[in-house]
Amino acid sequence: MEQGNYSVGLDIGTTKIVAIIGRENEYGKIEILGTGKSKSLGVHRGVVNNITQTISSIQQAVEQAELNSGLKIGSVVVGIAGQHIRSLQHSDYITRPNSEEVIQDEDLDKLCNQVYKLVMLPGEEIIHVLPQEYKVDGQSEIKEPKGMYGGRLEANFHVVVGQVSSIKNIGRCIKSAGLDLGSITLEPLASSDAVLSQEEKEAGVALIDIGGGTTDLAIFKDGIIRHTSVIPFGGNVITEDIKEGCSIIEKQAELLKIKFGSAWPGENKDNEIVSIPGLRGREPKEITLKNLSKIIHARVVEIIEQVYVEIKNYGHEEQKKKLIAGIVLTGGGSQLKHLKQLVEYITGMDTRIGYPNEHLAGDSDEEIASPLYATAVGLLMKALETTKRHHILEQGDMPQDEKVLVEQDHVVGQPSVATHGERKSIFDKWSEKLKDFLDNAE
């Protein structure tokens, strides 16, 4: 069957690897054509630490998605997280040769490319350069300088930096699994695309994505990303604690957490007990739900407090930086019972659970609309956006000057800011470089 333009998002997580194939329907919503999921082996706290196992897990997920949809997967958009990710604020400016001409996309690209030349610590590389707001000839708080007159163009940037080796390892896995790397996106950014509404991003919101190995944070205010951070703890440390605290095996601990776990110890009566079969004919173990939730509570509080420190670092107590829409929780860890209440109690901020159904077509599978798939859906959205841009380029229905710009962009492989629908993604330079590297590494 004719599927039109479809794209693929691949979420390489610590607990699971998900491949989602989808396309945009005529209403601009995303239609899921196929999904594949496999247990992730070889990823620890968001970072690949066993290439062979990761490759076979990726292949498993991809094969399942291909079978599921009857389509072939070529290029994928992948997410990156892990404790090596850090972000910094940076301002930069360019002086334009002719202030009598209006500011064009070329000027914005030139300014962005300048930031990519920043000298990083050894072994680090810039992943994203995200413009915050611009200044033209000293006039500040300009969101969209295109079309204005001015000689000096300045901007504040949110720069996301990651470890070169981790990025290359992901590229290596993708390539060895027989796929092409379309681009790499920071996972909290992908999740926020999938679960946040534009109103929330305007009002100010903190997205907390609790995964298996990491907890990702992205803060938006006035529609612009203001702060990102990756905390190297997630649902797996909770399972670990249950395993140690109750002396049971990991599989049982995970099941206990999902079925009976709660983040609020007061909810359980003292006499509620779960019996767990012993190993190889040993006596069954009895565990009180109160104890279980005490173990979970202690660890969850620790994770939330670390995230709250990051929110404070951003400065949410200042009037201008207030997060009116509060907190949105997503990721597999957000399904823990009473977590919403605990987060509200610790932070004093309004909280809701984020489901990635905002942009999905109405007839999508129930399962995909679960918080577990937030990152994967966000990566698919990124992939579709990139495909759309390339499609517009091929069709030629773009103003001539922009077309030339994007074509040059493609040849040289320079990054440009992904703020306008038609322009190429800011990772293009970066993906090209990574592809070259991987080709040479053969």
pLDDT at 291: 92
* Residue in the block written with tokens 């293009």: 428
Mean pLDDT throughout 379-397?
A: 81
Residue 277 lies in a domain: yes
- Between 261 and 419, the more confident residue is 261
Residue among 62, 11, 60, 4 at smallest CA distance from 30: 4
pLDDT at 342: 96
What's the rounded Cα separation, in Å, for the pair 192 and 363? 22
Mean pLDDT throughout 239-251?
A: 94
pLDDT at 58: 96
In the predicted structure, residue 379 carries a pLDDT above the cut 50: yes
- Between 290 and 388, the more confident residue is 290
Confidence of residue 280 (pLDDT cuts 50, 70, 90): confident
Number of domains comprising the chain: 1
pLDDT at 429: 57
pLDDT at 422: 38
Mean pLDDT throughout 125-137?
A: 93
* pLDDT > 90 fraction of the chain, expressed in percent and rounded: 73
In the predicted structure, residue 416 carries a pLDDT above the cut 60: no
pLDDT at 402: 41
Mean pLDDT throughout 32-40?
A: 94
In the predicted structure, residue 423 carries a pLDDT above the cut 60: no
What token pair was written down for 224?
């612009």
Residue 24 lies in a domain: no
Residue 151 lies in a domain: no
**Mean pLDDT across the chain, nearest whole number?**
87
For the ranges 48-57, 100-109, 151-160, 386-395, which has the lowest average pLDDT? 386-395
Residue 288 lies in a domain: yes
**Total-model pTM:** 0.86
Q: Is 27 left (phi over 0), alpha (psi -120 to 50) or beta?
A: alpha
Residue 5 lies in a domain: no
* pLDDT > 70 fraction of the chain, expressed in percent and rounded: 88
Mean pLDDT throughout 178-196?
A: 93
pLDDT at 411: 31
For the ranges 3-7, 110-114, 183-187, 336-340, which has the lowest average pLDDT? 3-7
Residue 269 lies in a domain: yes
pLDDT at 189: 93
pLDDT at 387: 85
Mean pLDDT throughout 78-104?
A: 92
Amino acid at 7: S
Residue 419 lies in a domain: no
Mean pLDDT throughout 252-270?
A: 88
pLDDT at 428: 59
Residue 243, CA distances (Å) to 62, 78, 210, 339 in order? 31, 31, 19, 20
CB 154 within 8 A of CB 93: yes
pLDDT at 407: 35
What's the rounded Cα separation, in Å, for the pair 4 and 104? 33
What's the rounded Cα separation, in Å, for the pair 77 and 246? 40
Confidence of residue 372 (pLDDT cuts 50, 70, 90): very high
**Residue range(s) defining the domain that contains residue 261:** 235-297
Which domain CATH number covers 285? Answer: 3.30.420.40
Residue 286 lies in a domain: yes
- The separation between CA 66 and the C-alpha centre of its own chain, rounded to angstroms, equals 23
Confidence of residue 419 (pLDDT cuts 50, 70, 90): very low
